[in-house]
Structure 1
Amino acid sequence: MTEQPSQKIVLPAYLIRRLEAFRIAKGSEHSYILRDKLYGKTYDFDPWQFFILEVLPGCETLEKLQAVFHDRFDRTITKDELDMLFSSIADQKLFEESALQHPLLEQYAKHSFEVVDGKAVHKSFSTVGQAAPAAPAAAAPVDGKAAGDGGAPELPPGVEGATGVDSRAASRMLKLFDPRPMLKALAPAVAPLRYAMYAVPVLLLVAIVLAANNWHVLSSDLGNLHAHFSLFARVIFMLLTVNVLSVLVMSFVANAFRVSVDKIGITVLLGFIPRFTTHMTGTENLSRRETMWLHASNIILRLFLFSVAMLVWYNTRDHANTLTEFALMMVLVAGASLIIETGNPLAKGSAYFLLSAFLNEKNLRGKAYRALVGKFRGDVYEPANSNALALYSLATITYLIFLVLLIGVGLLEWLNGHLRLGGSAVIIAGAFVAYLLWRNYTGLKHFGDIYEKTQQFDRWRKRTLTADDMAPGETPKAPMAWWKKVLLATPVVLLFLPYPYEVSGSFSIYPLRRQVLSTDTPGLIQTVYFDGGESVKQGTVIARLADNDYAGQVKVLDAQIQEQAAVLANLKAGPKPEQVRVAQEALETARTTARYSREKVPRIEKLYASGAMSFEELDTARKQRDDDAMEVTERIADLQLVKSGATADEIAAAEAKLSSLQQQRAIEADKVARTEVRMPFDGNILTLHLKDRTNSFLDKGQPLATVEYIGTVTAEVDIPEADVQYVKPGAKVRIRPVAYFNREFDGTVATIDRNVTKEETGTTLKILATIDNHGGELNTGMTGTAKIQGETMPVWKAFSQAIIRFVKVQVWSWIP
């Protein structure tokens, strides 16, 4: 047979993706061939038959299909001709599963059976339709093997038993939705992301270096994370992040490899751990390379998430915000999933199925298990008894036992630590460990039984295709639409737009003024007018102490002041005529008495001389004379003193005494005033239950209540030291408290603290900002997130500050 000129063309939409379509020129005429590379078959089609397959997706009714056919070939095609064509294609199983939803193909979605040699086999659609097959005749397979026998499709290594890939393994899946419309719409936009995998080795290397250099900090943060988040919270986090992303990535990869992902649902791992999964059809058509990439995509995704999360944690650790906790949780769950299941070939995860596809052995576990059993039994079948397989099986069993025991110990500690079940915890944990061990034993035994039953068929089922069969062809691609180009270019343009960069950090509210109310006047608390927590105006009396003693002392001093004021006034008024007259009368009386006394002495002396008087009487008369003379002298001085008036010193002394009395009164009056505790400014009373202190004694200096000014508050913002370069005094500040997450409060930067604080999350600086709070919503101790106005920079620079800082500091430090 001479070689015919051929041209590869686009495969019709409703045929299975493993086929290739060629147009064969035969002189002036041409025909079409479909080639099945997997099974080495070819199918011949006439031009009108191939035309029907090409236009079928756009023709939902028989009438429309007949009209289109008539326009092309100038004749009418009958329903019997279409039935014979479709029946023959359905018998050859060339229709894709989604094609059977077409109204003209729905009848081929369900198979009927007939008994042949005591065995139920699929009944031909041509027989069911009462018509003989008339079209694509299958060429003989390249290896001489007949067409399918109508049984279940053969699954390649790496597919059989893989959850989410093998459709038979998803029998207990709860369907959530059909992802095919989403995959079809987003596939062009997601396709360029496959180039991100080339950055994974570099990112992974940097992440490992960071983890090694900051191991103590990382382990400390992981310990804190373990203390704050329960195992249930970590499982939910993994389900909604890593698990969801892995399902989406594997769905897009499978869709790119022509596999139909018709369901996304939820199932359980080990009988109790929920996880999302997929239901795929057409995986039997995957090549070895495609199977390996399908499983490798799951591993690469987790490596990428682990590396990026490590970088995010390291560069945002100073912020200590939600993003840091999210990144740290991602490091934990992505790393744990890689070590425990996905990246561990000893567990039944992506790494195991990748290894199975690489070794082209779909029953790798069963084969290894049989090899290990054969070592103990002394079997002589060498391919299964290799030392490598036995060692792999032994490592798998050891790992599974270690993992089960580790889970059991963790369950035991949790039961005793949280539920305090005592001995019951040992029983529950032991029963759970026994269940897991039994489950893994039955699983390994099941794999071994499957391998033992199927190993005799593996030799002849393996095929080797010729070089021509494996040669890849060029499939024409439609040019990219203009709107897709615009869509791809828009993010690049947006990266260079100016963006107002803002420094963010957590804040705490402090009052601008706070004061403790007390008094230096001890006393009994007589009345309390507020109970605490109220907003009070300046000067309002909050409480009153008993003031009876101080008020009485004030009254006494008032009387003394009045008396002293009268004395002072009298001194300043000068001598009165009455006083002068009294003094003169006293002087005259004294002079008269002195004259009589003086005249009496000579008479007594004569009588004494005559012996009529004694000497004592004479001496008494003389003393009286002298005393009366002195009295005259004193009265003269008194008269002169009365006539001269008060001296300046006397007036000054009286004034000083009056002033002293007035000062004493002021002190006592101030004590009375201080028995009233007043609000020093407009603000809030922080102390609660003040009325409970009524009739209690308040000692000198003892606090009564704490008050704060509420018109303006201070926000103490903790920012990373790397961002202090963007903060200037007077910059605008926007805060969003947790209590008012729908509102923003404006303020300005007042002070930049010069002290750097070292915390577990890194080094930070404190920024003090004054926030207007005339509404009184912000209370002391409130927390939230603040954003401080920084510089304007391109979008790419604003959102890559951590990366830029990492390169300019950390990478720079690595350069010798």
Structure 2
Amino acid sequence: MESPRHPFRKFIFGSAAKSADGLYYALTGARHGRPIRLEPAEFELARLMDGARDAATVRKAAAETLGAELSADELERFCNELAIGDLLAAGGQEPLPVPALTDGEAVIAGWSSGPKPTGVGSETAAPSTVPGSLTGPGLPGSLTGLWGAFRGVVAPPRVRLPAGPLLPIGSLLNLPMLAGVFGLLALLALVAGAIAVMWNKRFEMSVDLARLIEPWPLLLTIIGGVLLLNLLSEIARAAAIRGQTRSTPAFGIVLGTALIPRFHTDTSGAAESAPREQRLRIVGSPLVAQLMLFVTFVGLWLVFHHNHSILPSLLVAMSLLTSAFFLLQLNPLVKRDGYNWLVQWFQASDLREQAMYAVMNYERPWNEAKRLSPSVMRWYYFACAAFTFWMMVWVVLFPGRWLSGAFGSVGVVIVVLLMAWSVFTSARRTKTTRGSIGAGKLNLAAPKKLDLVIIAALVVFALFPYTYEPSGQFTVLPSARADIRALTAGDIREVFVKEGDKVKAGQVIARITDDEERTAVASSEASLARLRANLSIAKKGAKTEEVDQARQEVTTAEKRIEFSGAESERLKKAFAKRAVSDQDYQRARSIAELDKQRLLEARKHLAVVSSPTRPEQSQAIDAEIAREQALLELHQKAVENALIKAPIAGRVVSHQLRFAVGDFLQRGELLATVEDSSQLLVEIRLPETEVGTINIGAKAWAKAWAFPDDGYPGVIREIAPSAEKNDYGKVVRVVMAIDHPDGKLLPEMTGYAKVETERVPLIVAFTRPVLRFFLVEFWSWLP
């Protein structure tokens, strides 16, 4: 049967009889008939709880009529005793502080079926009668309405909001849970994929997130994001309640810790008394919704990350906020969704306290609603310890480093205080008051043989020799690489190879236009022939016929330069209007320049044959011959440079060769690359903290992303002489030569590699980062 509901708690009893000496009242419960004694003052105090007075009014009336100044905690402990004796009915606004504690009470209350057990103790957990218990399961004397927002109890929403229009959104967020096990497995697979995307795209996400680093945009994003996540999580809970119980819960705004407003779905009533399977879905719905939102935000970022607006930055920020929000909800030390789901699963409202006292081996003078096995409680305790350790590490690594760097020794003190506060608050959450039941008794048992065996095994395991292998990202490199560049400017006329072809050193792979260079060679050869003829004339003397012929050559050269110069000017104007090709224009210019040179040579030749022979003239001609010979060699080298050759033997790598014909290359411009991949090298980027343990010749092992099932052994060949800056700190490049490449690895592929170092005890290998932190980082904090 259900207890009657009143606006506030109401004192009820089946019968009351005053003792003969008047020292106490003997009362029996309204349902169970369990006897209980109350002093006259306590009886009068109990009668003040008539269902019309709240706790504050009861305390005021007790002070006026009974002269008893009660604190809120004292009145709450008194209510615990009345509830245990079944003398207190739950009110609509002030619920019972204590749920049923025995199987018999659970059967009578209708929470379980079967005959009333005769023994003491319990195996069946009764649902808490605290409204909102699915978001904050009740414990006697600690989570009731007197302290409200400051003690963990969430009252019904003070500001009611219509949840109906938003319930379809909550239903969408609950789809994986409604689909059963396969839906949850599919969601976990999507979450794993989203995490992989964030890792592979971490640099692009960092760039987008950097746009929100300014204080105000960052603050507004965090506040707005938390409110949005809180709203959608509670809407998902409301949708789960609607789907599981066919009732629409109250939804609105409540005052949380430190009177901070937040959205809240009231879980009292039908949701609270629903079967265990439905309660598990209701409690887990916000967690499922947060995972759905995380996958959605990452997926939207993938779609819009090329957008230049603020949207990609907001999506990255929301994905990070959602992941942090989800992890905080999983905190096993705080009565949030993760803890509450475990409470509903094990049907133990004091799971946290049971685990704490079980590890400390306390004997307690009360009966739990369900006594959990020691293994379950110990595993829960270790989860709490791991979370506390994670919080301490987070404080040290993030605000700790910044504070120590900004404020020196004062920052170290702040860090230590933050760590102490983290430990204190975590330990304080494990405490609870259970009315006047009393404190526990510590019972330290001697270690058993099995305990000693386990400890010895752990020690041996910790001292087991282990090869320490630092790892880092790598890039595959060829044993040799050379760029093929143009040694002279010009159009590409022919390409003789394609990408992927193997070439020999000095093999021609392309030819650049060489019309000007060949013209210059012909001009130099002609000039050299004339100079040699002039030298012969200068030494022997010229005849009259030779002088006349020289004058005729000058006249012919003048006519030729007049024609070729006019043609060059005409084509220049036409080329400016794109009426002729660049090739035709360049050819006309070359002819004009060649005619100028011929005219100059003809005039020099006329001067030589017309003038009398002198020794100085012969010497000048010799100098001209030497100069022209040098020019001829230069022009011949230019013609040779028009043939682009491979500097080394290897495989051609270039995506430009396919459509290179017709392209114009400037001097020094890259055309292709030749790589010698007969032996591959792996360049590993190791953190600077690990380089001290690595030596040349050490064994190494590489695994590429493209071939995760294959491993490539090798040895360390080189260690860079200096460290370099990386996105995540300083790294040192270490080069490994692969012994037996199978042809599948290609240059520029990436992956991870491990380098083998000395053998150390297992505990040393896995605690090196922690030891290094205290030996270097923490040491630097000390004043």
Q: So what's the TM-score if we normalise by structure 2?
A: 0.37
Give the greater-gyration-radius structure (CA).
1
Q: So what's the TM-score if we normalise by structure 1?
A: 0.36
